[in-house]
């Protein structure tokens, strides 16, 4: 008999189908959980990155607040000082500088010689013209004598009327040639007279470009004046007055001048005339003042601060740093930060420019937060953050 039992005769089998299903479902659940966790983690990271980028995109800006102007009714504007009369002396003939008789700073009188030119070509042309004139004059005299003789013979019927008229016509032609030769002599004498450069009026020499032996070419567009003479006994001051103040600045009113080289000293000037028109580019009216200059403290070309007493009413008196103003096609504007940190670009009018600060009028109040040094690209609706301590760099949001 065999020793094998019945249990040993049964075949070996694997896990049943139910167990396999449970294992598959479990694996799927785990896979879905892993995928879901990964997706959730990526979404969270993306949202966090987006939030960080949005925060980084909001720029930090420095703001300033408009201040009430404390100068009362004083309108202070930059002015340009010019001589009462100024003349640039050019050569009227070609030649070489032979002598110069005045230097910068010299006082000269009207008609005083400033320089002498050597013009040999003009001298030779004048000598030739004088010779031509003598020749023409001799021919005119001969024609005149001949015409008189033929007139006497015509009275005696010794010659015909036609021949006498021909002699008279020749006399007229010779006279015209003589007059033309004389005119040419006068022209060359005038050119020869231009070899002496003279002062047109009493004044002081403020520039000299004449050098001994230098060639001077008249009528050259690139030529420099040999001298400049300025009458500085009285000075003219030109000021551009903003349109908002132009009605308050009238001829006859007094003004005070201040120059940087004379701290603490003031000069009195009187407004003498106004252009009466607003310049389209600057939005200002050009006015002229005059001031006495007995000690020559006022110099041509100098910069001056001109103070007008215009009283109240010239704008709302709000001042801002000049760096807070935006200049565009629509005129000057400022960027104001609202309570929601959104920017509003508002138009303003510059009523006074004092260099570092400007006086403005418009929709601006003392409590407004105005961005200092805003970029040209900033627009209404941009979001910004105000830097602590009022410091920061402005960028478009």
Check which CATH number belongs to the domain holding 345 and give it: 2.40.420.20
CB contact at 8 A, 82 and 235: yes
Task: Please identify, among 309, 332, 358, the residue that sits at the C-terminal boundary of a domain.
Answer: 309
C-alpha span between 255 and 339 (Å, rounded)? 44
Q: 307: Cβ–Cβ under 8 A, 6 or more apart, which residues?
A: 74, 75, 76, 255, 256, 257, 258
pLDDT of residue 394: 35
pLDDT of residue 3: 54
- Give yes or no: residues 280 and 357 share one domain: no
Query: Please, is 166 exposed, middle or buried when counting C-beta atoms within 10 Å of its C-beta (0-12, 13-18, 19+)?
Result: middle
The answer to whether residue 397 is domain-embedded is no
Tokens 């005129």 sit on residue: 331
1 CB neighbour count, 10 Å cutoff: 3
Provide block-wise average pLDDT over 10 residues at a time, the chain (397 residues).
Answer: 51 62 75 75 68 61 79 78 94 89 94 92 90 94 90 86 89 94 92 89 92 86 87 95 85 93 93 92 92 94 90 60 85 88 86 74 80 86 77 38
Q: What single DSSP character describes residue 368?
A: -
Q: Phi and psi dihedrals of 276, rounded to 5?
A: 70, 20
pLDDT of residue 49: 62
pTM of the model: 0.56
- Give yes or no: residues 322 and 304 share one domain: no
CATH code for the domain of 277: 2.40.30.170
pLDDT of residue 30: 80
CATH code for the domain of 108: 1.10.287.470
- Give yes or no: residues 333 and 305 share one domain: no
pLDDT of residue 28: 75
- Give yes or no: residues 160 and 131 share one domain: yes
Task: Please identify, among 276, 309, 342, the residue that sits at the C-terminal boundary of a domain.
Answer: 309
Query: Please, is 3 exposed, middle or buried when counting C-beta atoms within 10 Å of its C-beta (0-12, 13-18, 19+)?
Result: exposed
- Give yes or no: residues 252 and 284 share one domain: yes
pLDDT of residue 57: 61
Residue 43, helix vs strand vs coil: helix
- Give yes or no: residues 140 and 101 share one domain: yes
C-alpha span between 70 and 90 (Å, rounded)? 50
pLDDT of residue 16: 64
The answer to whether residue 337 is domain-embedded is yes
pLDDT of residue 397: 39
Q: Whole domain around residue 337: which residue ranges?
A: 60-67+316-390
pLDDT of residue 392: 38
CB contact at 8 A, 97 and 214: yes
Q: What residues pair up with 166 in beta bridges, in sequence order?
A: none
- Give yes or no: residues 118 and 194 share one domain: yes
pLDDT of residue 51: 54
* Count of domains observed in the chain: 4
- Give yes or no: residues 303 and 320 share one domain: no
Q: How many residues does the chain have?
A: 397
């Amino acid at each position: 008999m065999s020793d094998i039992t019945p249990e040993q005769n049964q075949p070996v089998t694997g896990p049943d189908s139910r167990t396999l299903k449970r294992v598959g479902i479990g694996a799927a659940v785990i896979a879905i959980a892993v995928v879901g966790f990964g997706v959730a983690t990526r979404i969270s990271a993306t949202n966090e990155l987006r939030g960080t980028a949005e925060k980084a995109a909001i720029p930090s800006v420095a703001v300033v607040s408009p201040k009430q102007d404390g100068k009362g009714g004083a309108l202070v504007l930059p002015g340009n000082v010019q001589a009462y009369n100024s003349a640039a002396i050019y050569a009227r003939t070609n030649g070489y500088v032979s002598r110069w008789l005045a230097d910068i700073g010299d006082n000269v009188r009207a008609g005083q010689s400033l320089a002498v030119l050597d013009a040999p070509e003009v001298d030779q042309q004048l000598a030739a013209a004088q010779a031509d004139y003598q020749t023409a004059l001799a021919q005119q005299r001969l024609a005149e004598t001949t015409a008189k003789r033929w007139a006497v013979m015509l009275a005696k019927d010794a010659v015909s009327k036609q021949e006498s008229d021909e002699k008279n016509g020749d006399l007229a032609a010779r006279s015209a040639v003589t007059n033309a030769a004389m005119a040419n002599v006068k022209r060359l004498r005038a050119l020869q007279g231009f070899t002496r450069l003279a002062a047109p009026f009493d004044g002081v020499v403020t520039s000299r470009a004449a050098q001994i032996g230098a060639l001077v070419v008249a009528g050259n567009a690139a030529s420099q004046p040999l001298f400049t003479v300025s009458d500085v006994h009285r000075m003219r001051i030109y000021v551009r007055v903003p349109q908002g103040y132009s009605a308050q600045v009238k001829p006859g009113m007094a003004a005070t001048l201040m120059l940087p080289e004379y701290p603490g000293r003031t000069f009195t000037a009187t407004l003498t005339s106004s252009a009466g028109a607003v310049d389209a580019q600057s939005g200002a009216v050009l006015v002229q003042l005059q001031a006495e200059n007995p000690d020559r403290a006022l110099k041509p070309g100098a910069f001056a601060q001109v103070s007008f007493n215009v009283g109240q009413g010239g704008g709302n008196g709000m001042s801002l740093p000049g760096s807070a103003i935006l200049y565009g096609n629509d005129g000057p504007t400022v960027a104001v930060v609202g309570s929601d940190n959104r920017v509003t670009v508002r138009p303003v009018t510059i009523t006074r420019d004092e260099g570092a600060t400007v006086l403005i009028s418009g929709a601006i109040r003392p409590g407004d937060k105005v961005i200092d040094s805003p970029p040209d690209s900033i627009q209404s609706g941009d979001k910004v953050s105000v830097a602590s301590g009022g410091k920061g760099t402005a960028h478009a949001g």
